């Protein structure tokens, strides 16, 4: 992988009632895709991760000119996400009852 540039992470975790879906103009929000744009010109790649309604969405925004091994990064990310999905299935089989508010099963 190319040499990494220093960057500062930004994390937000607003609290909301999980028993009530978000709405826009009265319609329930079923899915959210995270998108963020860096505020300076020297961010080569950014990762946005958002969980909502029992799913996790990952968005990667990259400058292919500044990240020549982007295909390798995408392949590694896909492999890692596949591994996480497999682990989640082993820990939380489909239909498993909820144990607490902090855990999915």
**DSSP line for 45-89:** EEEEEEEETTEEEEEEEE-TTT-TTHHHHHHHHHHHHHHHHHHHH
Global pTM value: 0.63
Residue 66 CB: number of other CB atoms within 10 A? 14
pLDDT in tens, 36-80: 876 666 778 888 888 888 788 888 888 888 888 989 998 999 999
Residue 35: the pLDDT is: 86
Beta bridge partners of 52: 55
Residue 44: the pLDDT is: 83
């Amino acid at each position: 992988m190319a040499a990494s540039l220093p960057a500062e992470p930004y994390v937000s975790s607003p609290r909301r009632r999980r028993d009530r879906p978000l709405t826009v103009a009265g319609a329930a929000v079923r899915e959210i895709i995270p998108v963020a744009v860096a505020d300076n010109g020297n961010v080569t790649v950014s990762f946005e991760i958002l969980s909502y309604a029992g799913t996790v969405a990952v968005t990667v925004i990259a400058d292919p000119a500044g990240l020549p091994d982007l295909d390798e990064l995408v392949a590694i990310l896909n492999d890692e996400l596949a591994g996480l999905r497999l682990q989640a299935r082993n820990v939380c089989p489909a239909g498993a009852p909820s144990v607490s508010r902090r855990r999915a099963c």
